[in-house]
Amino acid sequence: MALFDVIILGGGPAGYVCAIRCAQLGMQVAVIEREALGGTCVLWGCIPAKALLESAGLAVKLGKAAEHGITIDGITLDFGPAMKRSRSISAQNSKGVEFLFKKYKVQWLRGEGVLEKGKKVTVTLADGKKETHEAKKAVVVATGSRVKGLPQAGLELDKNIVLSSDDVLVAEKAPASMVVVGAGAVGVEFADVFAAFGTKVTMVEVAPTILPIEDADCSAELAKAFKKRKIDVLTGAKITSTKVTKTGATLVVEAGGTTHTLEVDKVLVAAGRAPNVERIGLEAVGIAKSERGFVKITEKFETNIPGYYAIGDVAGNQMLAHKGSREGHVLADLLGGEHPHLVNYNNIPSCTYCHPEVASIGLTEQACKDQKLEYTVGKFPFSANGRARTSGETDGFVKIIRDAKHGEILGAHIVGAHATEIIHELVVARENEFTVEEIDLAIHAHPTLSEAIAEAVLDSMGKMLHA
């Protein structure tokens, strides 16, 4: 038995960041992870998916090359090399985490861990051997989440016809046709990728809009952009029957008062994730879970059992890599005797990397109405932005919702090229309680996409200049 200061179960964004920061603060740390380091984000989510989206974006841009006086003959689209590139980038990132573990002397125990009482964890190593280790300060549960099928709709994941977002990241070619079930961030991103590589894509979403957690204006703008790209979108939809064979699937879907029969080669289920709470010893230790199955925690990530903590997807709130990383960093500081700011779950940016991108912070306009807040809206289209015109990426807008009395930024929403990058000006502003008037004091360089933020701010004050 080895004695560590901190033992972390899971090597994803929450777990590995927590481990590195704990080590920086002088603690001896072990991380138990059966796969490569980096978790879903690095191996099966954020990184490989965004690599594919970069390839998809390039494919779309090449189709417009003639506008720039560039003639390209004989373009062929092949999903296989793009997928292999994405896997290579994923492996690079995972190796980067391994390097950091060696740099900070974090011990990686490659295997499966089960929690025991007394701040102990039993690890079954890759060779089948078992060993038990103890933590002086803390055992941290950071086991993440996993994709799930829709058995209630007859869509059990099978790695052949009915696929998860993990499965499509090792596909060798783009199918001729595909139904994407679920139009949240994962669904719209993969719809974007496969449509760019020639797949006939139909999206099916039970909610009345795609990207249902985003502002309604953003959802409508993305739906319009997808329509231009001939991606079919069925919202307010219900799957009434499903037939899956060895060569394809037939789905009968009711939407908008019409019955649609969809015969496709593949079905991608992108409708949610489940926390990894099974077979890790939670019940044996007595750690409580919520009704939805997440580990219950306090604002300092404590479970109901002293010495046991939980962070990342398994602990609920937003299931986002950057949220988990911040939780890992803050928890490490707490364990190290620091006095960090606790995580502000009301100011975590939401980013979707389709084309055009969608990014947001804070409240939607509907949420402001539901809360009966007094607000004004400022909005500026990228079609009136000089930098967007030069790049030919004029879809979308910046929308800022401000408190009518004090100028506080209640919410901000961006649809457009590089939205996931330029949202951070508003994240910083909102975290530091800047008003729209204070954003207006900052001179924005011309020509830049960020000028659209400055113009939306002006519009929220009733004095927009360029539209």
Distance (Å, whole) CA 266 – CA 444: 46
CA distance 115 to 106: 19
Place of tokens 């010495």: 307
3-state SS, 152-219, equals: HHCECCCCCCEECCCHHHHCCCCCCEEEEECCCHHHHHHHHHHHHCCCEEEEECCCCCCCCCCCHHHH
Backbone angles phi, psi at 310, to 5 degrees: -145, 140
264 near 284, Cβ under 8 Å?
no
Q: What is the largest CA-CA distance in the chain?
A: 69
What whole-number distance in Å separates Cα of residue 219 and Cα of residue 289? 33
**DSSP per residue, 324-351:** HHHHHHHHHHHHTT--PPPP-GGG--EE
313: left (phi over 0), alpha (psi -120 to 50) or beta: alpha
* ∠ Cα 353 358 363 (to 5°): 135
In this structure, what token pair is assigned to residue 461?
A: 């004050």
Q: What is the total residue count of the chain?
A: 467
Q: What is the SS3 assignment for 243?
A: strand
Burial 187-197 (b: 16+ CB within 10 A, else e): bbbbbbbbbbb
**Would the CA dihedral through 315, 316, 321, 325 be positive or negative?**
negative
Please list the residues that pair with 357 across neighbouring strands. Answer: 416
Contact between 22 and 152 (Cβ < 8 Å): no
User: Is 12 within 8 Å of 327 (Cβ atoms)?
Assistant: no
Query: What is residue 220's three-state secondary structure?
Result: helix
- By annotation, the residues acting in catalysis are 446
CA–CA gap between residue 241 and residue 155 (Å, rounded): 10
Print burial letters for 372-405: b (CB count within 10 Å at least 16), e (below 16).
ebebbbbbbbbebbebbeeeebbbbbbbbbbbee
Amino acid at site 460: S
